[in-house]
Amino acid sequence: MCFVIAVLRRLSIAVLFLLGGCGDGKNGDAITFGTSADYRPFEYYEGGEIVGFEVDLAKAIAEKLGKQAEFRDMSFQAVLTELQNESIDVAMASMSPTKERRQNYDFTVVYHKSGVALVYKKGNKPDASSNLSGVKVACQLGSVPEKWIKENRPTAKVVSIDHVTQGGEFLKAGHVVGIVVDSPAAISLCADNQEFEYVIIAELSDDDGGCAMAVKKDSPLKQQIDDAIQKLQDSGELQAIKAKWNMVSA
C-alpha cells in the first residue's frame, strides 16, 4: 500500500510539473503585471492587498482580454529587469515611455499624463526663484521626477530613495526640504499628511510625463493592451477609474 501511495504521489508531482509549463510560475490564463506597490494612488498596499489606479486599470484590461490579472511586487528599479527576464508579462509602475526606455521595450498608449510636483511642509515652501539651488529634495531612484530634477535643477541636492513613503518620513524628520514626485502622488501624500502642501513645478511631454505599460519588444501584448485601453476609453470605464482614484492631470 505504501508503495502504491508513493507511486501516485510521484505521478501527481509529474502532472503538476507538466501543467506548470516552463516553470516560471506564470499562469497561462493570466497576465502577470510587475509593479512597485509603494506609489499611491497608482499602486500600494491596503489591508494586505495591492490596490490603486493602475491595479484597477490592469484588471479591466485583463478582463477585456479574457484573462485574469496577477501582480508581483518588487522595487521600481527591478521592474524592467524582470520584464526582460520574462518573469512578468507587463511592467506597470507609473512608467513613463522615455526615449531611453523605448530603445529596449515597447510601450502601450499613454493613459495618463502627470506633471512634476514638489511636496513640502506647510509654511516652509522653498524659494521658487532660487531654482532649488542648494535645497535638499528626495526623489525615487530611477523615476522620471528624479531625472527631471537632476537635468533641470542641477544645483539642487538630490537624495535618492527607494520608496515615496520613505520620502515622506524624511520630510517629516527634516532630513529633506521637499519631495519631488508626479502630481497624483503629491496629491496623495498631502491627503495622508495634513502638514504637507505641494506645487506643480513642471509639465512634461507624453514621452517624459505620460504613464504607459511596458512589454518586451515585438510582444503581441502591446496591440492587445492598446485595443483594450481604447475600448475602456470609448465606454467611459477609464474615466471612471481615474475619477475613483482622483487622478488629476497637471
| pLDDT recorded at residue 62 | 98
| pLDDT recorded at residue 248 | 64
| pLDDT recorded at residue 18 | 36
Q: If we measure between CA atoms, which residue out of 62, 63, 56 comes closest to residue 41?
A: 56
pTM: 0.74
Distance of CA 49 to the CA centre of its chain: 15
Kindly provide the residue ranges of all beta strands, DSSP E only, lying in the chain, ordered along the sequence: 30-35, 38-39, 43-46, 49-51, 68-73, 90-95, 105-107, 112-113, 115-121, 136-140, 157-161, 178-182, 196-203, 210-216
How far are the Cα atoms of 27, 31, 82, 86 from residue 17, in angstroms, in the given order? 13, 20, 23, 19
DSSP per residue over 6-44, as a string? Answer: HHHHHHHHHHHHHHTTTSS---TTEEEEEE-SEETTTEE
Q: What is the pLDDT along the chain (250 residues), one digit of tens a residue?
A: 433 334 334 333 333 333 333 444 556 799 999 999 988 899 999 999 999 999 999 999 999 999 999 999 999 989 999 999 999 999 999 898 988 999 999 999 999 988 899 999 999 999 867 889 999 999 998 888 998 999 999 999 999 998 888 999 999 999 999 999 988 889 889 989 999 999 999 887 666 668 999 999 999 999 999 999 999 999 999 999 999 998 865 4
Q: Which three cell numbers stand for residue 156?
A: 539642487
Q: What is the largest CA-CA distance in the chain?
A: 83
Domains of the chain: 2-112+211-244 (3.40.190.10), 115-203 (3.40.190.10)
| pLDDT recorded at residue 206 | 60
How many Å is the Cα radius of gyration of the chain?
Answer: 21
| pLDDT recorded at residue 166 | 92
**Run of H or E residues at 81:** helix 76-84
Q: Quick check: helix, strand or coil at residue 248?
A: coil
